[in-house]
A = this chain, B = another copy of it.
Amino acid sequence: MANLSEKRVRAKSGKKAKKGAKKVASTKWVFLFKEGRADQKGLLGGKGANLCEMTRLGLPVPPGFIVSTKACNAYFDAKGFPKDLWPQVLKALETLQVQSGRRFGDLAAPLLVSCRSGAKFSMPGMMDTVLNIGLNDDIAAALAANPERTRFVWDSYRRLIQMFSTVVLELDHHPFENELKKRRAAANVENDSQLDAAALQGVTEVFKGIVKEKTGRDFPQDPLEQMRLAIEAVFKSWNGKRAIDYRNAAGIAHDLGTAVNIQMMVFGNTGPRSGTGVVTTRNVSTGEKQLEGDYLLNAQGEDVVSGTRMTKRISDMTADMPDVAAEFAKHCQRLEKHFRDTQDVEFTVEDGKLWILQTRDAKRTAQAAVRIAVELTKERLITKEEAVLRVKPEHVDFFLHPQFDMKARKAAVDRGDLLAKGLNVSPGAATGAVVFDPDTAEQLGRKEKKSVILVRPETKPDDVHGMLAAKGILTSRGGRTSHAALVARQFGKPAVVGITTLDVDVENKRMTVKGRTFNQGDIVSLDGTTGEVFAGEVPTMVPEFNDPFLMTLLKWADEIRELGVWTNADYPRDAERARGYGAEGIGLCRTEHMFFETERLPIVQKMILAANEAEQTEALAALLPMQRGDFDGLFRAMNGQPVTIRLIDPPLHEFLPSHDSLLQEVTELETRLKMDGVTVDALGLESRLSKQKRMLAAVDGMREQNPMLGLRGVRLGIHLPALVRMQVRAIFEAACACQKDGVKVYPKVMIPLTSLKAELIFERGILEEEAKKVMTEQGVKVKYQFGTMIEIPRAAVVADEIASLAEFFSFGTNDLTQTTFGISRDDAETGFLLEYLEKRILPENPFATIDQNGVGGLMEMAVKKGRKVRPTLEVGICGEHGGDPKSIDFCHRLGLTYVSCSPFRVPIARLAAAHAAIVNR
């Protein structure tokens, strides 16, 4: 939207400019820092607008001015500087000279300026900068006369020539670097900063020679010419290939243009009363309210960042230069207050004078994000809603994912075991033995239950079974949308990819990184949240869910959100955990999960294979007390909160042995019997064969070509009403018993896979009859609801008919996505769906985030039609999307009653629901 309106504005003003050019006063292209504001990022660029804002605040910002983005666009339109631009620059320069007390070309007090690009949106490293404009042979010579400055002057001059040559004159950078390399070798030093004045003066001369040789002209000595060419170069850089590629990838409009910032140079490396540093106004790891950061005396910014010199803690500054430190602290406070967020501030001290060079919102850890948001609110700097918005769902996720034990991680770093940092594409920490092929990963991981980390140069669909069996994934190649990244996120496997320093030797089953070699079975640890990889085991932990700041923030989210947050839980222990995480009800209890338990499966099989009604009745009678126990536990765990119980859903053959293994066994037995003839053993084999043949026949009888679309859900209930009856009885017997014990119960019986109203009529008949019977037997009246899943497209299309019977809807978006797309998730997510994501045919996995146009279109229809017939209809979602922030936003917009998700997603859903409520107001 921003881009669009930008375009419109530009088109308009462009026209105006042309029309009015001859009549009215010329356009204002150039702005002094004191003339702009923070909210003029479109006109002045992000960096420029912030410099203006700080200037306006009275902070000691080196003076300067900005050539606007409009000027840039006019430059492209006019294929040259637009009318009046240069005179305006000169006028601004005049002011700058007054402000700084220095002048361009003055030998005693020369003005030096930087020339930097600055677009509306940050495009780090994509455009160009020239420093030290204003230096020339004469000025350098004059300044170098001061012995304290000699080295500094030649270093500054050679930098100007080097940057100007590559950025403005577009010369190849190699000759310049080669010269420096030669000098370092000659001086036997590692860093340019260790070269002495003489060496640097020599370098300067050689650089000038390169310019002359390559361009046929001398390096320009006129500061104005330097500046003019630099401005033009910055303009041009906007349409450089790198910048265009970046904008394409980041979705930034190409017609925004860049501004150019011209600012007086200040230097932290002019002596012991100078220095430079970078700080955050709060601790960005923990969120604690204290200045954090590093500085260096007599140094330039890059010295702090590069790590070539040992930095000092910012707290030490008070001792080194108490006045400056106090002033700086005051400014930091001011900035935080003004920008209403923790700032990342760069400063320089030149000969005892403090200059603030940049401020921006600081990047921070999840923990810090939460604490800062809460504390800023308590300090009344931001509202609760702003606080809630500033914490991202993935921040909350961090509190629930396995993480490295921080002490252990620190120890590992100290030991030097941090091997690499790659792309953090799938969060969570993992530790295990490295393996280099998917089959071994599967063998060790799945069959031998070992923790393994699958390491590959890159992954392919053939690797997926190994990825599934691994605890974590590492690749040396690939980006955020690589196969490995997609699959890992899909299956919630921690992964770090694109570790360029990692050399994977699949053939010899080993990898090398940071000079260390790891063979199959060696232990490594990785953190997909940060992208770090360690040698050896770094213990992981799931943190306690009791961070007081997070608790506060989520409480605020609860106050704001309109969506209920329920949970999908089949067992009391899950229900309890989810309640602890803030769930307000159970949105989905899958009753069949209870059937898979070891002691129950044989009874379930007996029920399925029953030769007659008596056998079936007997098996169901045996299951009844078990199911009753299940529900009893859930009701007690959720005391008073709604518990949505879905009647049996999966096809019955899922409870029987696998068809293929039966077929194999039968074939093997038959072959053996045929070959052996009647031997002593034959009798045993024969009886086994006949038993397994019967089972195979039973399984064959229930086998379906597309079980996902087969005899399951409500269809099964209609086919086997006795089973439904047993489940309903179990629910109501448990509910009555709980209610007698003073436990509040609120069961909601849910029918799966409905597509026809008649199905609900049939099922409700059974439900009402049996429920009434139990309540009469027990002498207790239980309040309950009857509802249905909406997970079949037809149910959405005829939701009005369905709602005439169902008292609530719950979207089963997993199945709804499968049927709406005609995609079998089991097959596709390890198959063509990945191909689709890679080929960008799908923008994202519709099983992770609701496909709003397609599946969402049906959901919208269902909500509308359903509520038309039953205005009070409660509508929830219990597919996995219920825990996905983007999908939660969609659910909010649809007006759903609640989302239901797995216990671990409940806190995320609470926050996401609050976000949805705020941003959709």
Which residues of A come within 8 Å of B, CB atoms?
Answer: 660, 663-664, 667-668, 670-672, 675-676, 704-711, 715, 718-719, 753, 755-756, 758-759, 762, 791-794, 797-798, 801, 815, 818-824, 826-828, 831-832, 835-836, 839-842, 851, 853-855, 857-858
CB pair A794–B818 under 8 Å, yes or no, is no
A853 and B802 CA atoms in complex are apart in Å by 12
Q: Identify the closest chain B residue to A858 (Cβ).
A: B797
Complex interface: chain B residues within 8 A of A663 (CB): 660, 663-664, 667
Shortest Cβ distance from residue A801 to the other chain B in the assembled complex, whole angstroms:
7
* Most chain B CB atoms below 10 A, which of A801, A840, A858: A858
Complex interface: chain B residues within 8 A of A857 (CB): 797-798
User: Other CB < 8 Å A-B pairs besides A710-B831, A793-B819, A797-B853, 7 of them?
Assistant: A664-B667, A675-B675, A706-B709, A709-B822, A711-B831, A755-B822, A792-B821
A829 and B373 CA atoms in complex are apart in Å by 59
A-B contacts, 11 listed (Cβ < 8 Å): A663-B667, A671-B675, A705-B708, A709-B827, A715-B832, A715-B836, A755-B823, A756-B842, A797-B854, A797-B857, A797-B858
CB pair B675–A842 under 8 Å, yes or no, is no
CB pair A755–B667 under 8 Å, yes or no, is no
Complex interface: chain B residues within 8 A of A840 (CB): 758
Complex interface: chain B residues within 8 A of A710 (CB): 824, 827-828, 831-832
Complex interface: chain B residues within 8 A of A793 (CB): 793, 819-820, 822, 854, 858
* Most chain B CB atoms below 10 A, which of A791, A827, A851: A827
Complex interface: chain B residues within 8 A of A671 (CB): 667-668, 671-672, 675
CB pair A706–B835 under 8 Å, yes or no, is no
A609 and B672 CA atoms in complex are apart in Å by 32
A794 and B857 CA atoms in complex are apart in Å by 9
Complex interface: chain B residues within 8 A of A705 (CB): 707-708, 824, 826-827
A823 and B756 CA atoms in complex are apart in Å by 12
* Most chain B CB atoms below 10 A, which of A670, A675, A705, A855: A705
A676 and B676 CA atoms in complex are apart in Å by 11
Complex interface: chain B residues within 8 A of A792 (CB): 820-822
Shortest Cβ distance from residue A715 to the other chain B in the assembled complex, whole angstroms:
5
A719 and B835 in contact, given A709-B706, A824-B704 (Cβ under 8 angstroms): yes
How many copies make up the complex? 2
* Most chain B CB atoms below 10 A, which of A660, A715, A798: A715
Which listed residue, B660, B715, B794, B826, touches A706 by the CB 8 Å rule? B826
Q: Identify the closest chain B residue to A759 (Cβ).
A: B841
CB pair B709–A818 under 8 Å, yes or no, is yes
A857 and B864 CA atoms in complex are apart in Å by 15
* Most chain B CB atoms below 10 A, which of A664, A801, A815: A664
CB pair B758–A827 under 8 Å, yes or no, is no
A791 and B822 CA atoms in complex are apart in Å by 9
Complex interface: chain B residues within 8 A of A831 (CB): 704, 710-711
A443 and B272 CA atoms in complex are apart in Å by 102
A821 and B794 CA atoms in complex are apart in Å by 6
CB pair B718–A821 under 8 Å, yes or no, is no
A711 and B670 CA atoms in complex are apart in Å by 35
Complex interface: chain B residues within 8 A of A664 (CB): 663, 667
Complex interface: chain B residues within 8 A of A719 (CB): 832, 835
Shortest Cβ distance from residue A680 to the other chain B in the assembled complex, whole angstroms:
16
Q: Identify the closest chain B residue to A711 (Cβ).
A: B832
Q: Identify the closest chain B residue to A865 (Cβ).
A: B857
CB pair B855–A756 under 8 Å, yes or no, is no
CB pair A762–B822 under 8 Å, yes or no, is no
A827 and B718 in contact, given A667-B664, A797-B858, A853-B798 (Cβ under 8 angstroms): no
CB pair A851–B709 under 8 Å, yes or no, is no
Q: Identify the closest chain B residue to A818 (Cβ).
A: B709
Complex interface: chain B residues within 8 A of A820 (CB): 755, 792-794, 797, 819
Shortest Cβ distance from residue A672 to the other chain B in the assembled complex, whole angstroms:
6
A854 and B755 in contact, given A704-B827, A707-B706, A827-B704 (Cβ under 8 angstroms): yes
Shortest Cβ distance from residue A669 to the other chain B in the assembled complex, whole angstroms:
9
Closest 9 pairs between A and B when the two form their complex, measured CB to CB: A706-B824, A709-B824, A794-B854, A793-B793, A671-B671, A704-B827, A792-B822, A797-B857, A667-B667
A280 and B533 CA atoms in complex are apart in Å by 95
CB pair B707–A822 under 8 Å, yes or no, is no
A706 and B827 in contact, given A718-B836, A832-B715, A841-B756 (Cβ under 8 angstroms): yes
Shortest Cβ distance from residue A541 to the other chain B in the assembled complex, whole angstroms:
37
CB pair A827–B675 under 8 Å, yes or no, is no
Complex interface: chain B residues within 8 A of A708 (CB): 705-706, 709, 822, 824
Q: Identify the closest chain B residue to A701 (Cβ).
A: B462
A404 and B823 CA atoms in complex are apart in Å by 47
Complex interface: chain B residues within 8 A of A675 (CB): 671-672, 675-676
CB pair B758–A841 under 8 Å, yes or no, is yes
CB pair A822–B667 under 8 Å, yes or no, is no
Q: Identify the closest chain B residue to A709 (Cβ).
A: B824
Complex interface: chain B residues within 8 A of A851 (CB): 794
A226 and B792 CA atoms in complex are apart in Å by 62
Shortest Cβ distance from residue A842 to the other chain B in the assembled complex, whole angstroms:
7
A433 and B664 CA atoms in complex are apart in Å by 37
CB pair A711–B839 under 8 Å, yes or no, is no
A663 and B675 CA atoms in complex are apart in Å by 19
Shortest Cβ distance from residue A704 to the other chain B in the assembled complex, whole angstroms:
4
A804 and B907 CA atoms in complex are apart in Å by 41
CB pair A718–B841 under 8 Å, yes or no, is yes
Shortest Cβ distance from residue A875 to the other chain B in the assembled complex, whole angstroms:
18
CB pair B824–A815 under 8 Å, yes or no, is no
Complex interface: chain B residues within 8 A of A706 (CB): 706-709, 824, 826-827
A759 and B755 CA atoms in complex are apart in Å by 28
Shortest Cβ distance from residue A826 to the other chain B in the assembled complex, whole angstroms:
5
A824 and B651 CA atoms in complex are apart in Å by 13
Shortest Cβ distance from residue A256 to the other chain B in the assembled complex, whole angstroms:
26
A562 and B798 CA atoms in complex are apart in Å by 29
A842 and B718 CA atoms in complex are apart in Å by 12
Complex interface: chain B residues within 8 A of A839 (CB): 718, 762
A758 and B660 CA atoms in complex are apart in Å by 38
CB pair A758–B858 under 8 Å, yes or no, is no
Shortest Cβ distance from residue A845 to the other chain B in the assembled complex, whole angstroms:
13
A26 and B801 CA atoms in complex are apart in Å by 44
A670 and B672 CA atoms in complex are apart in Å by 11
Complex interface: chain B residues within 8 A of A815 (CB): 822
Complex interface: chain B residues within 8 A of A841 (CB): 718, 756, 758-759, 762
Q: Identify the closest chain B residue to A672 (Cβ).
A: B671
